[in-house]
C-alpha cells in the first residue's frame, strides 16, 4: 500500500532559491528510503516540505499525498495532527529541538496528551515505555536535556518521534553530530524500531554507505533534483548517473581495495540554487558531459529493474511486451544516443 506519494514537488525560497525541483517520490508502508547528496542539494528542504515546516514566504507546489491526503492543501489543525500521528521528524541537533527548561518526560508526554487524548497516568506510562524502547531507563524521564549526553538526547528525539505511533519517520541526518560508535548505535536502534513496528522511513544522510546498509531504496539528489533512484545496494554498488557514481566512489566499498586506497572525490561544488546552470545542472562538474547536457535539462528515465536515472548516457531498456513494469517506465523523451558524440 502506498504510504507517501510526492508528485512534482517544487520548493522555492524567497529570492528565487530553487531548492527542490520536480521531485517525485513514493514509499510503501514499511519501506525504508535513503536520500543522499552533497550539502545544499535540497535534502532537508524536501524533508521539511513533507510536513509543511518550511519558513513563511517559501513557494511550494506539487502534491504530497500521505495516505492519499494532500499535506499541502490540508487545514492547519489537520497538519498538526498529521505531524505526530501520520509522520514525524527526527532532526540532526537534538539539543536545539528539545526545550532546555522542561524535563524530557514532559516533552515526550505532551503529544501523547494532546493528540491521543491520554490521561496523565496513561501518558506517564507511555513515556516510560517509549524511553525504554529507545534504550533509556524510564527513570530518566525526570532529566533535563542538559543532563543527557548527545547520544541519549538523540534517543529522546526518537522516543518523541514514535510517541503517537506514526506510520512514517523522517530522519534528517539523525547522527551527524555524534561520534562514530554512538552513530552506529543510534542508527541500529532507529532501523530496529522502524522494522519491528513496520513503519516507513525516509533517512537523509551524506553517507551513501550507511544508507545502502539500512535502506531498501536509495534516492540521490543533486541541485534540488532526484538524479538517480533504485534498490539501495544496486545504486550504491553500481550507480548509473555520473554524480551518483562519484558520490558512491567517495565511500570505501567493502571488498574493493581500490576504492579504499584511491577514493575518487568530485572536484568543485554544487551550483547555487538561485543561479543554476543551463541544461543538466551537473554538467559543469561532469566528466561525461556532451553537447546536449549543456542545453537540455535531464529528467528521470526508467533504466530497468526498478531503477531510474536522469542522464543522457543511461541506456533505456528494451521493452519486449506492451506492458511496462515497475521501474521500466518509458522516459518522457527518448534518450538520444550521444555516446559516439565527439
Ligand atoms: N530558509 C532558507 N532561505 C533561503 N535559502 C535556503 C533556506 N534554507 C535552505 N536554503 C538553501 O536551499 C538549498 C538547499 O538547502 P538544504 O538545507 O535543503 O540542503 P541539504 O541537502 O539539506 O544540505 P546539508 O547536507 O548541508 O544539510 C541550499 O542552497 C540552501 O542554502
Ligand atoms: Mg540538510
User: Residue 195 belongs to a domain with what CATH number?
Assistant: 3.40.50.300
Residue whose CB lies within 8 A of the most ligand 1 atoms, among 11, 16, 19, for a mutation test: 19
Give dist(CA 278, CA 284) in Å, integer.
10
Residue 308 in any domain: the answer is: no
Distance (angstroms) between ligand 2 centre and the Cα of 179 equals 18
Which pLDDT does position 189 carry in this prediction? 87
- How does DSSP classify residue 315? P
57 CB under 6 A from ligand 1? no
Q: Is residue 332 part of a domain?
A: no
Atom of ligand 1 nearest to the CA of 55: 1
Q: How many domains does the chain have?
A: 1
Instruction: Give the Cα separation of 10 and 5 in Å (integer).
Output: 14
User: Is 255 part of a structural domain of the chain?
Assistant: no
Query: How large is the C-alpha radius of gyration of the chain?
Result: 21
Q: Can you give the residue range of the structural domain that contains 146? A: 2-227
Q: Residue 339: inside a domain, yes or no? A: no
19 is written with which cell numbers? 531548492
Does ligand 1 lie within 6 Å of residue 270's CB atom?
no
Residue 263 lies in a domain: no
| Grid cell at residue 157 | 528525539
Q: Is the CB of 55 under 6 A from ligand 1?
A: yes
Atom of ligand 1 nearest to the CA of 38: 25
Helix (H, G, I), strand (E, B), or coil: what is residue 286?
Answer: coil
Residues of the chain with pLDDT under 70: 94-95, 252-265, 318-342
273 CA closest ligand 1 atom index: 29
Q: How far apart are CA 157 and CA 152, in angstroms?
A: 9
CA of 12, nearest ligand number: 1
Q: Is residue 133 part of a domain?
A: yes
173 found inside a domain: yes
Task: Summarize the chain as % helix, strand, coil (round to 5).
Answer: 35, 20, 40
Give the pLDDT score at 264: 56
Instruction: State which ligand 1 atom lies nearest to the alpha carbon of 37.
Output: 21
Decide: residue 94, CB within 10 A, 0-12 exposed, 13-18 middle, 19+ buried.
buried
Partners of 64 in the β-ladder: 6
Contact (CB, 8 A) for 132 and 138: yes
Kindly state whether residue 210 falls inside one of the protein's structural domains: yes
List the grid coordinates of 154.
Answer: 538523540
Rounded to whole angstroms, the Cα distance separating 17 from 20 reads 9
Residue 204 Cα to ligand 1 middle (Å): 13
Q: What is the pLDDT of residue 327?
A: 41
Interval between CA 296 and ligand 1 midpoint (Å): 25
Between the CA of 14 and the centroid of ligand 1 the distance, in Å, is 12
Strand 2-13, strand 87-90: pairing: unpaired
224 lines ligand 1 (CB under 6 A): no
Burial class (CB in 10 A: 0-12, 13-18, 19+), 62: middle
What SS3 class is residue 8? Answer: strand
Q: Count other Cβ atoms within 10 Å, centred on residue 295.
A: 10
* 44 C-beta closer than 6 A to ligand 1: yes
Give the three cell numbers for residue 235. 545504486
Amino acid at each position: 500500500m502506498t504510504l507517501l506519494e510526492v508528485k512534482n514537488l517544487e520548493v522555492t525560497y524567497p529570492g528565487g532559491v530553487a531548492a527542490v525541483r520536480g521531485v517525485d517520490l513514493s514509499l510503501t508502508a514499511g519501506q525504508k528510503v535513503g536520500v543522499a547528496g552533497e550539502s545544499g542539494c535540497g535534502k532537508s528542504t524536501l524533508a521539511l516540505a513533507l510536513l509543511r515546516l518550511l519558513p513563511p514566504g517559501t513557494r511550494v507546489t506539487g502534491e504530497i499525498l500521505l495516505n492519499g491526503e494532500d499535506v499541502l492543501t490540508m487545514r492547519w489543525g489537520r497538519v498538526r495532527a498529521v505531524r505526530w500521528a501520520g509522520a514525524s521528524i527526527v532532526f540532526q541537533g537534538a539539543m536545539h529541538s528539545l526545550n532546555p527548561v522542561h524535563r524530557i518526560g514532559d516533552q515526550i508526554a505532551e503529544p501523547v496528551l494532546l493528540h491521543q487524548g491520554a490521561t496523565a497516568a496513561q501518558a506517564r506510562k507511555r513515556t516510560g515505555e517509549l524511553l525504554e524502547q529507545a534504550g533509556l531507563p524510564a527513570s530518566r524521564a525526570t532529566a533535563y536535556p542538559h543532563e543527557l549526553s548527545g547520544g541519549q538526547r538523540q534517543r529522546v528525539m526518537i522516543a518523541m518521534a514514535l510517541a503517537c505511533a506514526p506510520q512514517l519517520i523522517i530522519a534528517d541526518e539523525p547522527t551527524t553530530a555524534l561520534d562514530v560508535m554512538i552513530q552506529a548505535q543510534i542508527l541500529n536502534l532507529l532501523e530496529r524500531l522502524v522494522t519491528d513496528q513496520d513503519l516507513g522511513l525516509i533517512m537523509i544522510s551524506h553517507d551513501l554507505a550507511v544508507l545502502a546498509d539500512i535502506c531498501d531504496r536509495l534516492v540521490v539528489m543533486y541541485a534540488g533534483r532526484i538524479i538517480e533512484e533504485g534498490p539501495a545496494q544496486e545504486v550504491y554498488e553500481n550507480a548509473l548517473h555520473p554524480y551518483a557514481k562519484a558520490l558512491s566512489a567517495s565511500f570505501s566499498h567493502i571488498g574493493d581495495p581500490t576504492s579504499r586506497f584511491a577514493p575518487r572525490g568530485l572536484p568543485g561544488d554544487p551550483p547555487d540554487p538561485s543561479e543554476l546552470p543551463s541544461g543538466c545542472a551537473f554538467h559543469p562538474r561532469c566528466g561525461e558531459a556532451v553537447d546536449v547536457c549543456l542545453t537540455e535539462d535531464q529528467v528521470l528515465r526508467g533504466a530497468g529493474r526498478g531503477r531510474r536515472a536522469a542522464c543522457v548516457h543511461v541506456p533505456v531498456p528494451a521493452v519486449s511486451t506492451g506492458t511496462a513494469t515497475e521501474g521500466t517506465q518509458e522516459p518522457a523523451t527518448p534518450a538520444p544516443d550521444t555516446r559516439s558524440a565527439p
